Amino acid sequence: MYNRYQRLKTFLSIALILLLGGTFLIFAMPDKPNSPEPTDVDVNECVSACALPSHVDLSGDGFPVKRTEAEWRERLTELQYSVTREQGTERPFENPYNDNKRTGLYRCIGCDTPLFSSTDKFNSGTGWPSFTQPIDSRTLGEHKDTSYGMQRVEVHCKICGSHQGHVFPDGPKPTGLRYCINSASLSFEETESPEAVKKLVEAWYQVEGE
Catalytic site residues?
180
* H/E element, 46: helix 45-49
**Cβ-proximal residues to 75 (8 Å cutoff; 6+ apart), any chain:** 67, 110
- For the bound state, the minimum distance from the C-beta of residue 30 to Zn ion, rounded and expressed in Å, comes to 32
CB 160 within 8 A of CB 67: yes
User: Considering beta carbons, is residue 39 or 75 the nearer one to Zn ion?
Assistant: 75
- For the bound state, the minimum distance from the C-beta of residue 161 to Zn ion, rounded and expressed in Å, comes to 7
By residue count, the chain amounts to 210
Q: Where are the beta strands (DSSP E) in 11-151?
A: 104-108, 114-117, 121-122, 130-131, 140-145
User: Considering beta carbons, is residue 95 or 164 the nearer one to Zn ion?
Assistant: 164
User: Considering beta carbons, is residue 159 or 167 the nearer one to Zn ion?
Assistant: 159
CB 107 within 8 A of CB 189: yes
- For the bound state, the minimum distance from the C-beta of residue 164 to Zn ion, rounded and expressed in Å, comes to 9
Q: Is 142 helix (H, G, I), strand (E, B) or coil?
A: strand
User: Considering beta carbons, is residue 172 or 186 the nearer one to Zn ion?
Assistant: 186
- For the bound state, the minimum distance from the C-beta of residue 113 to Zn ion, rounded and expressed in Å, comes to 5
Q: Is 167 helix (H, G, I), strand (E, B) or coil?
A: strand
Residues that bind Zn ion (CB under 5 A): 108, 110-111, 113, 157, 159-160, 162
| CA nearest to 126, candidates 148, 95, 86 | 95
Distance separating alpha carbons of residues 30 and 195, to the nearest angstrom: 34
User: Considering beta carbons, is residue 35 or 137 the nearer one to Zn ion?
Assistant: 137
- For the bound state, the minimum distance from the C-beta of residue 109 to Zn ion, rounded and expressed in Å, comes to 7
**Cβ-proximal residues to 206 (8 Å cutoff; 6+ apart), any chain:** 50
